[in-house]
Amino acid sequence: MLPTTGENATDENAAALDARLLEEAEEHARALIRRGSGSARQVAEQVSDYFYADGGTPLSLAAAGDIVGRLWRERLAEQETWPEVTDADRLAAAFAALDAGGITARMDFTCCGTCGTAEIRGEAADEDHGYVFFDHQDAEAAADGHGLWLRYGAHGEDADGSLTVAVGQSVVAALAEAGLGAAWDGDPSRAISVDRLDWRRRLAPLPG
C-alpha cells in the first residue's frame, strides 16, 4: 500500500493541490517512474521530499502517494503492451552475467560518476577484478531517451590501462551476448555507450 501519512503530512490530498504544484509533482513523479528505480513508496517519498524547504514540504506524503499511485497504475497498464523482453531486461541480463563473472556490476548506482567510482570497490567480491556501473544521472538520461553511458575500470593498480581495457572488452561482449550494441573505441579513458537503447524498465505491481 502506498503511504497515507508522513512526518510532514497535512490534510490535503492530490485533488486539492495548487495546479502549478500538482503539475510539477506529476512531472517529477513521471520521470522517476520512467527511470524504474525503487518501489512506489520510495518514489512517493522522493516526490514529497523534492519540494522540501524551510523544515517542511507543501506536498504531503499522502498527496504524493495519490499522485504516484495513479501514474504507477498507468505505467503498469502501458507495460502490458511491451515486448516480452525489453532493452532494459537485456541490460539487466548483461549486468548479471558480468557480476557473476568477476566484474562488480551495478545499475543505477549512486548519485554521480565521481561517487560511483569512489564507492564501487566497496561493492566488490573478493574475486572481482574489475567493475562497471551507471549512476542515477545516467539512468535519468537513458529514461529521457538520451542514451546510456557505462563507467568501468579495474580493481587495483593498472599502470598501463591494459586491465581496464580487458574489463571494457568484457562489458562490450556481455552487452552483445544480451542483444545490445555498444560504441567504444577501446580507449580505457572513454566510457562505453550503449547503442539505441529503448529504456523500458518494468515496475513491480502495487501491493495490496
Q: Which residue has the cell 493541490?
A: 17
**What percent of the residues of the chain are helix, what percent strand, and what percent coil, each to the nearest 5?**
50, 10, 40
pLDDT for residue 15? 56
Decide if 71 contacts 29 (C-beta within 8 A). yes
139 pLDDT above the threshold of 80: yes
Report percent pLDDT > 90 for the chain.
88
Tens-digit pLDDT profile for residues 75-118: 999 999 999 999 999 999 999 999 999 999 999 999 999 999 99
Nine-digit cell string for 157: 593498480
User: For 54, what's the count of Cα atoms within 13 Å in the CB-facing half-sphere?
Assistant: 1
pLDDT for residue 16? 65
Amino acid at 26: E
User: For 65, what's the count of Cα atoms within 13 Å in the CB-facing half-sphere?
Assistant: 16
Q: Phi/psi of residue 53, each to 5°?
A: -160, 145
Tens-digit pLDDT profile for residues 68-83: 999 999 999 999 999 9
- Over range 185-204, report the average pLDDT: 95
pLDDT for residue 164? 98
Coil, helix or strand for 199? coil
The chain-wide mean pLDDT, for the chain, equals 92
CA distance 62 to 43: 12
- Over range 16-27, report the average pLDDT: 90
Domain ranges of the chain: 14-79, 87-194
3 pLDDT above the threshold of 90: no
